[in-house]
């Protein structure tokens, strides 16, 4: 029987479902409720007492940072653990979240194991006691995720998760390059680095629309599994970046030969934030114009 309550806040239903499944399978004593943005979460928190909040940063109507600020002003929520789950991993944003009272910081894409570690860390003895009363135990991360392997489509080594302590942004977090023209006047390829929980795939964008992006990558890299989370950073102009969340929809060899050098990866977008969709629309228009 659940004795603790957690609120999962993210504008992408795919991410909310992934977080709730992880919590349900790993911590049966935690009951989860979800909200699609900070405004809805604020309404739920005003009516129900939650013991844990797992929240995205970039959302419509009210961001995760705005929700955190409001939450720390409420007497009943001043000490409630707040885990920020976001694709923003640069130093300035980590510092800002820490200053506002974030308990832990988890970067997207995240592994279920990484999420579990953060929850155990912020809930501490209270979670252990609840699990003990229910006859469950907090197994080691390796043991725990042997049991919940259904959450993953392939076995992988644990990913190092960003700390809530301010650290420099990882040089592996790359972005889509601005379209350019070759000396011969042909469109130069649009490069992109797609981030997964434990790897970054260097690739070339072959096609992109409002629902998905298809990239080509050399097969000598580490490839994700079907349904794995992904984040692709695209430059939308004036140095601004859009971080689009998605999942791997398809992996396909470019050639019919077994020794093909390239693999096509299709990533479906899951963001429902109108601002992100607007940013994506501008990028798609620029991409198509530069590749005519």
Domains with residue ranges and CATH for the chain: 4-151 (3.40.50.2300), 190-290 (2.40.10.220)
50-84 per-residue burial string, b: 16 or more CB within 10 A, e: under 16: bbbbbbbbbbbebbbbbbbebbeeeeebeebbbbb
Query: Nearest CA to 102 among 125, 126, 86, 116?
Result: 86
Phi and psi at 153, nearest 5°, equal -100, -5
pLDDT at position 184 is: 54
**247 bridge partner residues:** 229, 268
Whether the model clears a pTM of 0.95, i.e. scores above it, the answer is no
Helix 112-133, helix 13-26: angle, nearest 10: 40
Tokens (6 digits) for 48: 């129900």
Query: Nearest CA to 113 among 165, 151, 84, 85?
Result: 151
d(C-alpha 36, C-alpha 56), whole Å:
10
pLDDT at position 145 is: 44
Helices H / strands E in the chain, number of each: 7, 11
pLDDT at position 243 is: 87
d(C-alpha 38, C-alpha 288), whole Å:
34
pLDDT (tens digit, 0 to 9) for every residue of the chain, 292 residues total?
568 999 999 999 999 999 999 999 999 999 999 999 999 999 999 999 999 999 999 898 999 999 999 999 999 999 999 999 988 766 777 888 889 899 999 999 999 999 999 999 999 999 999 998 888 766 544 444 444 444 333 444 443 444 444 333 333 334 444 444 545 556 678 888 899 998 999 999 999 999 999 999 999 999 999 999 999 988 877 777 788 999 999 999 998 887 889 999 999 999 888 888 888 998 999 888 888 7
**Please, where are the H alpha helices in 78-137?**
91-99, 112-133
pLDDT at position 119 is: 97
Torsion of CA 238, 276, 188, 219, to 10 degrees: 130
Q: Is 115 exposed, middle or buried (0-12, 13-18, 19+ CB in 10 A)?
A: buried
Length of the chain equals 292
């Amino acid at each position: 029987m659940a004795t603790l309550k957690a609120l999962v806040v993210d504008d992408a239903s795919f991410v909310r479902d992934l977080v709730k499944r992880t919590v349900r399978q790993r911590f049966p004593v935690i009951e989860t409720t979800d909200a699609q943005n900070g405004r809805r979460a604020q309404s739920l928190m005003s009516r129900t007492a939650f013991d844990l909040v797992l929240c995205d940063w970039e959302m419509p109507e009210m961001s995760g940072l705005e929700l955190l600020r409001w939450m720390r002003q409420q007497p009943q929520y001043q000490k409630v653990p707040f885990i920020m789950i976001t694709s923003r991993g640069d130093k300035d944003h980590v510092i800002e979240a820490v200053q506002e009272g974030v308990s832990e910081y988890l970067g997207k894409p995240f592994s279920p194991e990484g999420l579990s570690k953060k929850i155990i860390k912020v809930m501490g003895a209270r979670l252990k006691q609840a699990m003990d009363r229910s006859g469950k135990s907090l197994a080691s991360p390796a043991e725990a995720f042997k049991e919940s392997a259904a959450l993953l489509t392939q076995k992988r080594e644990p990913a190092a998760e960003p700390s809530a302590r301010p650290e420099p942004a990882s040089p592996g977090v790359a972005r889509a390059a601005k379209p350019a023209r070759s000396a011969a006047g042909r469109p130069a390829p649009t490069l992109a680095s797609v981030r997964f929980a434990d790897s970054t795939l260097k690739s070339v964008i072959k096609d992109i629309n409002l629902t998905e992006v298809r990239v080509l990558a050399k097969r000598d890299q580490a490839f994700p599994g079907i349904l794995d989370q992904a984040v692709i950073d695209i430059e939308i102009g004036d140095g601004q970046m859009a971080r689009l969340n998605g999942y791997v929809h398809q992996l396909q060899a470019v050639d019919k030969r077994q020794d093909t050098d390239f693999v096509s990866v299709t990533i479906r977008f899951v963001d429902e934030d109108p601002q992100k969709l607007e940013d994506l629309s501008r990028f798609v228009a620029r991409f198509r114009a530069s590749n005519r």
